Structure 1
């Protein structure tokens, strides 16, 4: 088992409920303030991106049955993946183009889509990074864990955000278009974004997700300039 960093226990808050059987961890400075999520399910628990590696989080994960899959939605979410795998004996899942960033680790890769449980599948959504992906959970009316592919803006609306580090902006817009074409208001009720959760102002998810995405002006978004 990998030793843990020595950190005061009061730094880390316990994960909080988001939706039924879904929890969110405090933003992780190892992944530039990203939010990690945890789905507890009968078919195997899924951890989405890396939370901070500390005793509070590890004890929480173990108390809920451990982790079967650790999905990395993009290269910036890797954090302390190796140490988490050593402590939790979980399987790592990442899109094939970014697996090279985990040398020496045993990983499961996918190309376009991969169903990992009867209720969850991973979808390749390139643009933010070459191997950016989202996880779709078909319970609760449909929940999309969007990593950094879709984030809340200052008004709390889900949007793709173009930054100076965006890999390929037109591909990101095409990935968003594919999501809109794939889902419906009946199959996509919520988005759980992988960052910017402070813009949700206490709400723990984005609701009416499909309707909000369907109103986006994709041609105008395509012309958006990068922000720092």
Structure 2
């Protein structure tokens, strides 16, 4: 007999959603910090400008160029790329753990590690084919998760440099997505609105997945 409270299935997706919400709050605070740092720097420049003639302003801006670059681009870019990788690591761990929990009630000899592939894609395959979770009702969440997974792979395995082939799947995804683009040097550039949008996608995803898990529990012979 399977105890769905003891193995954690009844709350797994709900708790995962709550963690994702915390990541959204963290991101908002970090983005606010970059905006505040930039605003303070701009105010500092305005004070300096007021003390010198206009013809000297360009030289002053040049002297602040690196600080402006750090505040407006480099630091926010590092934060967003790092957070995207963190979010995907969390998502992969949660889905892998879910598959392991489901193995107790699904039964059979086929386990997650027996399936082809890895990461999120393999976990989704297990949920669909082995645990018979209905993923057809998830709408836009799954294509978006799979698309962002491509971006994550580029960040982790290729230093954020996009393929030169414009028809590559990751390039097509970026072309069709808001808040993300190909930046200088062919590197992916993640805008401030992309991370919150993706986190909201994950919130919707875990809510739908929670519904499927509750259905699984209700239909299990030990419960029925």
Q: Which bracket does the TM-score occupy, shorter chain normalised? A: under 0.3
More strand by share: 1
TM-score normalised to the size of structure 2?
0.27
Compute the TM-score of the two structures, normalised by the length of structure 1. 0.27
Higher-helix-fraction structure: 2
Higher relative contact order, chain-length normalized (CA < 8 Å, sep 6+): 2
